[in-house]
């Protein structure tokens, strides 16, 4: 059987940063990913990565405060402090690894402005920051010769009595199913955007890790907090980075007005994402739209700046909607973008509470978008997510190595685990008479978009939840047309759909439960934030049976008391 001390699931920024840390310390580490590492969705991050550098006159406390406020006071302040305090050093680490950052006139790292922050502290590489960092991180993975299971799909966590000791995974090329043993498993499997349609997320963002952890007994936290990004392209929903507004682009409605004047007079287009998305939807609902969209106007930035700093946006707008942003405004609207919630962890990535405050799965760690530490609370600031992946990727690796050196491998029967998994897959392959996978996925995603969009109501969310539960039944008969072994993507989509349905249900249950409006969770029937009753996180556990069990844990407050949020 394959065997490692630390096994990292996922090879995006969080996963690679974790694996790199372990490899540098000489640990027996491996990484497993359903796509080649550089195909991971981290490459789509365009705008940049935040850090408060002291020698730039910035202060991490300010970054932390902006993050706390951005989170609508749902973020845990101890975790936010860790992230913002360590950001500077981590940024320099990235530069030392070889990331090409845009520079200022003196050759030092240059910054750009980003939403929800009072200072320009976003470091960037044109508008391909994620790609530039991801590829360099992979260079380091190659340098340290980390073992990578490329194009392996993880289907189940191997657990016994609340402890994790490995995974079952399918080698996509051959279709073979294997067990891989590990003393510590780190989940870095990214987001779940495909639960919604449309979405800025890649086709691989299907929430697998969240579902795997949830099924294994770990709680999911604040799942209702799904971020809508204000500027996604008409039609496909592909993202146009906040970097555009950071560089000075305007949002205008059908009457040519810069409507943000009415919603956030101080920060204008650079208010927090939830605020801008709501403003756009209001404009659209009031009829100031063009075909269900408003416009992003970059023309006044000038061709030179656009081609230096927004070249990718220029390319995508041209390719996908045929608009040259140097000449015309481009139609956009809010679209699902990021999951603030996820697998509950402590600041060291642990998915269980050593002091017993909440339960979870021992030996299991999580980092990146799949995890909820929680540093983003009700609303993530732009460019804080890449930071989250590298900081908590590294920290979870440190904790996982500690755990691995203090514990033995879990004993389990390989045959049982592999056999069980094969049986599940065979059952899917044997289905007949049901719906096609893509049909169920689309129905789910549309129901979620309708019921859990930018504005929510009890009724709408309940309708979505009922629909999702109905789809869980339909899923049992879903049809996989490809019966072969080699590279059976059809079977993988079916497995992913199963994961997405778990996530969709959790999002809806959390949404119905939280009877207030906070951050991205904006309810028409409970329009105000309710600090008295809802300064707490919602934890969801799977079971017993078909049920979902809820638990609440208080928000950690260190320095900043909740206050009204205005931009």
Residues that bind ligand FAD (CB under 6 A): 9-15, 32-35, 40-42, 44-49, 129-130, 153-154, 188-191, 200-201, 204, 208-209, 239, 241, 337-338, 368-370, 382-386, 389
Shortest distance, position 96 Cβ to another protein, whole Å: 5
* Residue 64 binding: pick among ligand FAD, another protein, none (C-beta 5-8 Å cut-off by kind): none
* Residue number with the smallest Cβ distance to ligand FAD: 12
Judged by beta carbon, residue 137 or residue 306, the one nearer ligand FAD is 137
Judged by beta carbon, residue 463 or residue 485, the one nearer ligand FAD is 485
Residue/partner pairs of 388-391 with CB below 8 Å, 24 or more apart: 388/14, 388/83, 389/12, 389/13, 389/14, 389/17, 389/42, 389/188, 390/13, 390/14, 390/17, 390/49, 390/90, 390/93, 390/94, 391/82, 391/83, 391/86, 391/87, 391/90
* Residue 139 binding: pick among another protein, ligand FAD, none (C-beta 5-8 Å cut-off by kind): another protein
d(CA 349, CA 40) in angstroms, rounded, equals 20
Shortest distance, position 288 Cβ to ligand FAD, whole Å: 26
Provide φ and ψ at 419, rounded to 5°: -60, -45
33 by DSSP, 3-state: which?
strand
d(CA 8, CA 149) in angstroms, rounded, equals 10
Shortest distance, position 126 Cβ to another protein, whole Å: 5
Judged by beta carbon, residue 238 or residue 468, the one nearer another protein is 238
What is the dihedral sign for C-alpha 333, 336, 338, 341? positive
Judged by beta carbon, residue 6 or residue 9, the one nearer ligand FAD is 9
d(CA 301, CA 326) in angstroms, rounded, equals 8
Instruction: Name the token pair of 147.
Output: 């073992």
Residues with catalytic roles: 273
* Residue 95 binding: pick among ligand FAD, another protein, none (C-beta 5-8 Å cut-off by kind): another protein
Shortest distance, position 123 Cβ to another protein, whole Å: 10
Shortest distance, position 230 Cβ to another protein, whole Å: 18
Judged by beta carbon, residue 349 or residue 460, the one nearer ligand FAD is 349
* Residue 109 binding: pick among ligand FAD, another protein, none (C-beta 5-8 Å cut-off by kind): another protein
Judged by beta carbon, residue 69 or residue 523, the one nearer ligand FAD is 69
d(CA 72, CA 217) in angstroms, rounded, equals 29
d(CA 172, CA 482) in angstroms, rounded, equals 13
Burial 81-115 (b: 16+ CB within 10 A, else e): bbbbebbbebbeebeeeebebbeeeeeebbbbbbb
The footprint of another protein (CB under 8 A) covers 35-36, 38-41, 43-44, 55, 92, 95-98, 100-110, 125-126, 128, 131-132, 135-136, 139-140, 142-143, 173, 202-204, 235-236, 238-239, 308, 312, 315-316, 319-322, 436-439, 479-490, 493
Shortest distance, position 340 Cβ to another protein, whole Å: 22
- Secondary structure tally for the chain: helices H, strands E: 16, 19
Judged by beta carbon, residue 39 or residue 536, the one nearer another protein is 39
> In which element (H, E) is residue 404 found?
helix 385-406
- CA neighbor of 340 nearest in space, from 26, 67, 99: 67
> In which element (H, E) is residue 185 found?
strand 176-187
What is the dihedral sign for C-alpha 359, 363, 368, 370? negative
* Residue 369 binding: pick among ligand FAD, another protein, none (C-beta 5-8 Å cut-off by kind): ligand FAD
Shortest distance, position 171 Cβ to ligand FAD, whole Å: 11
* Residue 117 binding: pick among another protein, ligand FAD, none (C-beta 5-8 Å cut-off by kind): none
């Amino acid at each position: 059987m394959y065997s490692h001390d630390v096994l990292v699931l996922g090879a995006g920024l969080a996963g690679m940063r974790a694996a790199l840390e372990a490899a540098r310390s000489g640990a027996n580490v491996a990484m497993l990913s359903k796509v080649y590492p550089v195909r991971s969705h981290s490459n789509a991050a365009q705008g940049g990565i935040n850090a408060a550098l002291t020698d730039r006159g910035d202060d991490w406390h300010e970054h932390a405060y902006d993050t706390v406020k951005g989170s609508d006071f749902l973020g845990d302040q101890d975790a936010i402090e860790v992230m913002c305090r360590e950001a500077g050093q981590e940024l320099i680490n990235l530069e030392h690894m070889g990331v090409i950052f845009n520079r200022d006139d003196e050759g030092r790292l240059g910054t750009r402005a980003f939403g929800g922050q009072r200072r320009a502290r976003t470091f960037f590489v044109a508008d391909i920051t994620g790609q530039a960092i991801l590829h360099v991180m992979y260079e380091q993975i190659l340098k340290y010769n980390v073992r990578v299971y490329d194009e392996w799909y993880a289907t189940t966590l191997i657990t016994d009595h609340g402890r994790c000791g490995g995974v079952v995974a399918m080698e996509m090329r051959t279709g073979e199913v294997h067990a891989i043993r590990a003393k510590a498993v780190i989940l870095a499997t990214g987001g779940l955007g495909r639960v919604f349609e449309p979405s800025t997320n890649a086709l691989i963002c299907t929430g697998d890790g969240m579902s795997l952890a949830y099924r294994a007994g770990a709680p999911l936290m604040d799942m209702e907090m799904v971020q809508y990004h204000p500027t996604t392209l008409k039609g496909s929903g592909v993202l146009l980075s906040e970097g555009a507004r950071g560089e000075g682009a305007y949002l205008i409605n059908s009457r040519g007005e810069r409507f943000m004047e009415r919603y956030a007079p101080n920060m204008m287009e650079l208010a927090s994402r939830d605020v801008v998305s709501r403003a756009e939807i209001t404009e659209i609902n009031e009829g100031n739209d063009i075909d269900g969209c408003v416009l992003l106007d970059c023309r006044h930035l000038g061709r030179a700046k656009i081609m230096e700093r927004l070249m990718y946006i220029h390319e995508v707008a041209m390719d996908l909607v045929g608009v040259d942003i140097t000449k015309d405004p481009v139609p956009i609207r809010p679209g699902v973008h990021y999951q603030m919630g996820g697998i509950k962890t402590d600041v060291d990535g642990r998915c269980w509470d050593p002091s017993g405050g909440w339960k979870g799965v021992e030996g299991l760690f999580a980092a990146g978008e799949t995890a909820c530490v929680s540093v983003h609370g009700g609303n993530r600031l732009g460019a804080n997510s890449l930071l989250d992946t590298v900081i908590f990727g590294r920290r979870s690796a440190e904790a996982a190595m500690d755990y691995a050196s203090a514990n033995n491998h879990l004993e389990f029967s390989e045959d049982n685990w592999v056999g069980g998994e094969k049986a599940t897959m065979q059952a899917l392959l044997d289905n007949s008479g049901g719906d096609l996978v893509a049909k169920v996925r689309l129905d789910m995603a549309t129901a979620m978009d309708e019921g859990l969009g930018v504005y929510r109501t009890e009724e709408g969310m309940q309708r979505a939840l009922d629909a999702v539960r109905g789809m869980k039944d339909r899923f049992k008969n879903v049809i996989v047309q490809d019966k072969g072994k080699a590279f059976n993507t059809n079977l993988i989509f079916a497995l992913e759909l199963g994961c997405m349905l778990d996530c969709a249900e959790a999002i809806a249950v959390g949404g119905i439960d939280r009877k207030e409006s906070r951050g991205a969770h904006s309810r028409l029937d409970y329009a105000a934030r309710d600090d008295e009753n809802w300064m707490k996180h919602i934890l969801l556990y799977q079971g017993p049976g078909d049920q979902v069990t809820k638990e609440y844990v208080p928000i950690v407050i260190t320095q900043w008391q909740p206050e009204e949020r205005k931009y």
